[in-house]
Amino acid sequence: MTRLGAQPPPHPHAPKELLEPMDVSFLASVFSAPGPYATVCADVTHNTESADTEVELRVRAIGEDLAAQGAPAPVVEAVSRTLLQTNDGGWLGTLRGRALIVAADGTVVLDEALADAPRDPVSTWSPDPALMPVLRQLAGRVPHVVVVADRVGADISVASGTGQQVESQQVDGDTFHMRKVQVGGWAHNTYMHTAENQWEENAGQVADELHALVGRDGSRFVLLAGDVRARQLIADKASKEVSEVLVSMDGGGRAAGADRSVIDARAVELIAENEAVEAARAVEQVEAAAAHGLAVTGTALVVEALRKAQVETLVLADQPDDEQLFVGPGELEIGLSAEDVAALGVPDSKQVPAEFGMLRAAVGSDAQVVVVPRTAMPGDIPVAAVLRYTDASTPS
């Protein structure tokens, strides 16, 4: 893979308050795999007694759809086999949505958790992968933690970022003397304090784990559900960093079979709220950078900047125009026409969807990516970019 070498130092007037965009290096395996591709955004919700059968029926329908579009048997089998893993239980059984991209040889080159059952279900077999429906629905777009606590410990689910699988872990403390007992006399206080002390120790272990996770991932929120007293103790012991992003809610429990749908629904709400804030921040960043000549808008100018590895952050509308670009074998061999690519010394190029070509160039130049609603883009443009440096040809 062509990789970017040494870059000029940051522009002295670059905006200081930058949002944390998406690292799209996890797409490298997609761009290096042979096409055509199957792209799937599937509902794998597994929260009813008949969930196994429901998932099997949805997966069968996806496989039949792909086969009808011409996908070969190894591709259909890979999609079906991977999606049906949710019926095996474990953390995969907690997912509500899953995105897959499978290459022509049946290799799964992308497997990501979605924030929820997909708003835009996708099942396509095409020369190029359908990347935008995947990117705009990823759980890891908003790094976050969901905690369901009781007085023994907590179940913790972590969406740590795009390109990272959702993690699931348990933190359990000592259960000795966990239940307060109603005994009389001197022993009563002894049992009471022993139980409270153990609860606090267990809550401290959970709080320590949350501190490590928030520090590692820059989690936008920590959603805390479950036992009321356990939530109080964890909140009391939470570090400043965790407290700043902690959202406590009633409902949910750790017991087997407990309904966590209300927790899932609240997590989806918080993800949407954070996405809206970050979309507005992305547009503000473009406008702030433009004031110093460090932003360009529109496909032509952004493609030129990508070709020269000038782009620090690529801002894409979630509903792109139906534009085509031309690309060569190298990630930065990109242009509006075959002549543009030929001018780079590449005689043979192929046409690809604009978002595919730009995301490929972003991976090749270590650029970050932000996907925002089309309505948030200034002037209804499909794409903008914040630059890491300028040159004589950069528009003022």
CATH code of the domain containing 338: 3.30.1330.30
Residue 312 has pLDDT above 70, yes or no: yes
Give the pLDDT of residue 195: 59
Q: What's the alpha-carbon Rg for the chain, to the nearest Å?
A: 24
Q: Which residue bears the tokens 């932000």?
A: 370
Give the pLDDT of residue 171: 62
Task: Record the tokens describing residue 72, joined without a space.
Answer: 């070969």
Residue ranges making up the domain that contains 300: 275-387
Torsion, Cα 313 314 317 320, to 10 degrees, reads 180
Shared-domain flag, residues 321 and 280: yes
Which residue, of 274, 294, 326, is where some domain finishes? 274
Shared-domain flag, residues 345 and 355: yes
Q: What is the mean pLDDT of residues 310-320?
A: 91
Shared-domain flag, residues 204 and 287: no
Shared-domain flag, residues 262 and 287: no
Is residue 105 assigned to a domain? yes
Region of poorest pLDDT, from 123-127, 237-241, 320-324: 320-324
Residue 378 has pLDDT above 50, yes or no: yes
Shared-domain flag, residues 220 and 241: yes
Shared-domain flag, residues 252 and 326: no
Nearest to 290 by CA among 153, 178, 147, 395: 395
Q: What is the mean pLDDT of residues 203-229?
A: 91
Residue 246 has pLDDT above 80, yes or no: yes
Shared-domain flag, residues 146 and 217: yes
Domains in the chain, number: 3
Task: Record the tokens describing residue 251, joined without a space.
Answer: 């409902």
Give the pLDDT of residue 366: 93
| DSSP string across 65-87 | HHHHTT--HHHHHHHHHHHGGGG
Q: What is the mean pLDDT of residues 335-348?
A: 94
Q: What is the mean pLDDT of residues 167-174?
A: 60
Shared-domain flag, residues 49 and 85: yes
Residue 14: pLDDT band by 50, 70, 90 thresholds?
very low
Whole-prediction pTM: 0.72
Give the pLDDT of residue 13: 37
Is residue 182 assigned to a domain? yes
Measured CA to CA, the distance from residue 29 to residue 199 in angstroms comes to 46
Residue 204 has pLDDT above 70, yes or no: yes
Instruction: Specify the higher pLDDT residue, 180 or 54.
Output: 54
Give the pLDDT of residue 182: 44
Give the pLDDT of residue 328: 95
Is residue 4 assigned to a domain? no
